[in-house]
Amino acid sequence: MNENAIPFEGRTGAMRTSQWLAAENLDGLGDIKCVIENVFQHLKVRMQDGKEQAKIFTLKFVGKDMELVLNATNRKTLAAKFGVDTKLWRGKEITLYVQDGVKCPSGGKCKGIRIK
């Protein structure tokens, strides 16, 4: 055995090294309350599938390292709750949860993070 290897007994979401929050990180945890720290725009981002996105928007949460990439559904939910000016989203508490049957970028169905 490699001398640098140690037993791992955590959640599979902890195995991810991405800066982006994914359903795998939250699956099975129920509703997760978070406070929005900021909204960011990232330019020319290489995603996990290797494809480069020209522009993505993310939510950064108070006390959390990973950011949530905003898809259209979650962006519309936030706009309905707090208005279309993203400055008004800062400091607002939201609840994240995992929903099954969400349309995946690959075209199939998978689990995805939703906001309520």
Q: Are 36 and 63 in contact (CB under 8 A)?
A: no
Domain boundaries, the chain: 17-115
CB count in 10 Å sphere of residue 40 = 13
Q: How far is residue 94's CA from residue 33's CA, in Å, rounded to a whole number?
A: 6
**Antiparallel, parallel or unpaired: β 68-69 and 52-61:** antiparallel
Q: How far is residue 64's CA from residue 20's CA, in Å, rounded to a whole number?
A: 11
Name the burial class of residue 67, with classes exposed (0-12), middle (13-18) and buried (19+) by CB atoms within 10 angstroms of its CB. buried
Read off the pLDDT of residues 27-50 as tens digits, 9 standing for 90 and up. 999 999 999 999 999 998 887 677
Q: What is the mean pLDDT of each run of 10 residues along the chain (116 residues)?
A: 69 64 92 97 82 89 95 96 97 97 84 95
Q: How far is residue 115's CA from residue 20's CA, in Å, rounded to a whole number?
A: 16
For 47, residues 6+ apart whose C-beta sits below 8 A from its C-beta are 53
Identify which of 39, 45, 33 has the alpha carbon closest to the alpha carbon of residue 59.
39
pTM of the predicted model, to two decimals?
A: 0.81
